[in-house]
Amino acid sequence: MTAEFASKPMFDHYQLDEAYDEMFSPDGGVRPQYASIHRLLEGLTEEEFRRRKDAADLTFLNQGITFTVYGNDEGTERIFPYDLIPRVITRDEWDTIERGLIQRITALNLFLKDIYHDGHILNDGVVPRDLVFTCRHYRRQMRGVNVPNDVYTAVVGTDLVRLPSGEFVVLEDNLRVPSGVSYMLSNRNLMKYVFPRIFGAYGVRQIDDYGQRLLETLRGLAPRRRDEPTIVLLTPGVYNSAYFEHTFLARQMGIQLVEGRDLLVHDNIVYMRTTAGLKRVDVIYRRVDDDFLDPLAFRSDSILGVAGLLNAYRAGNVTLGNAIGTGIADDKAIYSYVPDIIRYYLNEDIILNNVETYRLTDDTVRAHVLQQLDRLVVKAVGESGGYGMLIGPHSTAEERVEFARRIEADPRNYIAQPTLALSRAPCLFDSGVEPRSVDLRPYILFDGQKVTICPGGLTRVALRRGSLVVNSSQGGGSKDTWVLNA
């Protein structure tokens, strides 16, 4: 067995198809940015590979880098699967991504301010009014509320995918509580341990100061002019799937990790309960969804939130990052209007294109889409995490009938897109190196002055052969993303 493995070239099972391959050009040549990695992999003996893999496993295990899967009684904690081969992005590629994301976030933030204030874009008929007001994530409580520095989306994670042409396009905006940044940082640490030499030789841009940058961003949003505002991270608690990330970020920033029950509102001011008495809180980096933030304003059955928080927020006594109601701008039906939104506010053409999207509220489009469900991807507009979607080519006839019924019942709630051939990157398996579909989620911070993109991101991998779903809740994994200096 061992001998067989050792003699087997690592790339025996590697097959190119119509999708863009991150490592090989269509003629089978190695792309220059992957040359050293390719050489390293070819020369890797099984023993050496095992040794590095074991070291990596152990590091992840010891650090308790885990996530929780919902709907599994066993409960639950799994190590987040990762792949040891880094994904490399050249400086030119990154330049485009960076400019595109700055443009997009700037415009979406202006859009949010507009629809919660004067609604110019609605009056001018660029985005249909009913589309906004029927969105499940629209929050009328935010009408006319001024947020510090006009920042609605301080922390963003936008999902990009790469088309067969090599072009990066935006698949999804995540403007509510994007997660995964801790995996980006942990993956990087791991790679530096496991492949120090090659990492050092590559000239990879630094991402390690993300925690500090996040802290600065949050500090800049404090409502009171104070040298040392009190900033906390609000978590739903240990049973949340991203709890590891919450503890990780709180530790990185050196701030308190609080739960709803640690906070209280008194005279519209938010306090946390400490052993030394009540301490005023200025900024809350909240990892709790809008619905659960304040039982008096939103879901009254929520025990994760803080009663009175919305009023304290509206009174300007506390800042929430992100603001309430940002979900309207990452609604998948609004998504199809983002090119128009960018043109409307910035008078610019979109840099990072959208994926072609069918609006199902249009009768002709809907009829057309329903006829070819087996070739399309259908998504519920307000969902994320790979839940509530139909991937046509991988679906059964029953699933398609079910989705057709749902679409007819509530066309506003769904959009359809062509099934994309996501780009594929090399991944290490016991049998050698094989390509798997990947996406890219860069992390973006916005303090009102400047949009900062952390040079890197989470490359998510569909580890199952042939799968297109990269979400960790659906069997996805991740790999380190190297953005090159030159």
Partner 1 sequence: MLMLSRVSETLYWMSRYMERAEHTARLLDLQVHLLLDQTALDPDQRWNMMLNAIGLAPVDGAHDALSLTHWLTFDTLNDASVLSCISSARENARHVREQISSEMWEQVNSMFFEVKRLENSALWNDQPHRFFRMVKEGAHLFQGITDSTMTNGEGWNFIQVGRYIERASLIARLLDVHFRAFQLTPLHDPIRENFLEWVSLLKSCTAYEAYCKVYTADLRPDRIAEYLLLNSDFPHTVRYSVDHLYSCLQAIARTTESKRAKHVNRLAGKLNAMLDYSSVDEIMTSGLHQILQEVQAQCAQIHSAISSAYIVYPADDFVS
**Is residue 262 involved in binding partner 1 (CB under 8 A)?**
yes
**Is residue 190 involved in binding partner 1 (CB under 8 A)?**
no
Interface stretch with partner 1, choices 27-35, 257-265, 283-291, 374-382 (CB under 8 A): 257-265
Check: CB of residue 387 under 8 Å from CB of residue 241. Answer: no
Interface stretch with partner 1, choices 39-47, 95-103, 173-181, 244-252 (CB under 8 A): 244-252
**Smallest gap from residue 75 Cβ to partner 1 (A):** 11
Query: To which residue do tokens 């630094």 refer?
Result: 206
Rounded Cα gap, residues 31 and 401, in angstroms = 43
Q: Burial code of 213-239, b = ≥16 C-beta within 10 A, e = fewer?
A: bbbebbbbbbbeeeeebbbbbbbbeee
**Smallest gap from residue 182 Cβ to partner 1 (A):** 12
Q: Which of 25, 36, 66, 256 binds partner 1 (CB under 8 A)?
A: 256
Query: To which residue do tokens 């128009």 refer?
Result: 340
Check: CB of residue 32 under 8 Å from CB of residue 92. Answer: no
**Is residue 250 involved in binding partner 1 (CB under 8 A)?**
yes
Interface stretch with partner 1, choices 92-100, 126-134, 215-223, 248-256 (CB under 8 A): 248-256
**Is residue 323 involved in binding partner 1 (CB under 8 A)?**
no
**Is residue 238 involved in binding partner 1 (CB under 8 A)?**
yes
**Is residue 277 involved in binding partner 1 (CB under 8 A)?**
yes
From 383, 461, 381, 464, select the one nearest 422 (Cα to Cα): 461
Check: CB of residue 417 under 8 Å from CB of residue 355. Answer: yes
Please, which residue, 126 or 278, has the CB nearer to partner 1?
278
Residue 127 identity (one-letter amino acid): V
Residue ranges in 49-78 that form contacts with partner 1 under rule CB under 8 A: 62, 64
Three-state DSSP state, 460 = strand
Please, which residue, 27 or 74, has the CB nearer to partner 1?
74
**Is residue 309 involved in binding partner 1 (CB under 8 A)?**
no
# residues near partner 1 by CB under 8 A: 26
Q: Which of 266, 375, 450, 465 binds partner 1 (CB under 8 A)?
A: 266
- Specify which residues 36 forms β-bridges with: none
Rounded Cα gap, residues 380 and 415, in angstroms = 7
Q: Which of 69, 145, 278, 391 binds partner 1 (CB under 8 A)?
A: 278
Check: CB of residue 247 under 8 Å from CB of residue 257. Answer: yes
**Is residue 334 involved in binding partner 1 (CB under 8 A)?**
no
Residue 29: count other Cβ atoms within 10 Å of its Cβ: 10
**Is residue 280 involved in binding partner 1 (CB under 8 A)?**
yes
Characterize the bridge pairing of strands 376-380 and 414-418: antiparallel
Please, which residue, 212 or 431, has the CB nearer to partner 1?
212
Residues 6+ apart with CB under 8 A from 430: none
Please, which residue, 256 or 361, has the CB nearer to partner 1?
256
**Is residue 200 involved in binding partner 1 (CB under 8 A)?**
no
Residue 295 identity (one-letter amino acid): P
Measured CA distances, 370 to 337, 354, 359, 381 (Å): 22, 22, 12, 17
Interface stretch with partner 1, choices 31-39, 145-153, 275-283, 418-426 (CB under 8 A): 275-283
From 266, 314, 320, 318, select the one nearest 288 (Cα to Cα): 320
Q: Which of 30, 126, 194, 264 binds partner 1 (CB under 8 A)?
A: 264
**Is residue 274 involved in binding partner 1 (CB under 8 A)?**
yes
Please, which residue, 60 or 111, has the CB nearer to partner 1?
60
Q: What angle do CA 319, 321, 324 make, to 5 degrees?
A: 85
Q: Which of 247, 353, 357, 473 binds partner 1 (CB under 8 A)?
A: 247
Rounded Cα gap, residues 391 and 158, in angstroms = 21
**Is residue 233 involved in binding partner 1 (CB under 8 A)?**
no
Binding residues vs partner 1 (CB under 8 A): 62, 64, 237-238, 247, 250-251, 254, 256-259, 261-262, 264, 266, 271-280
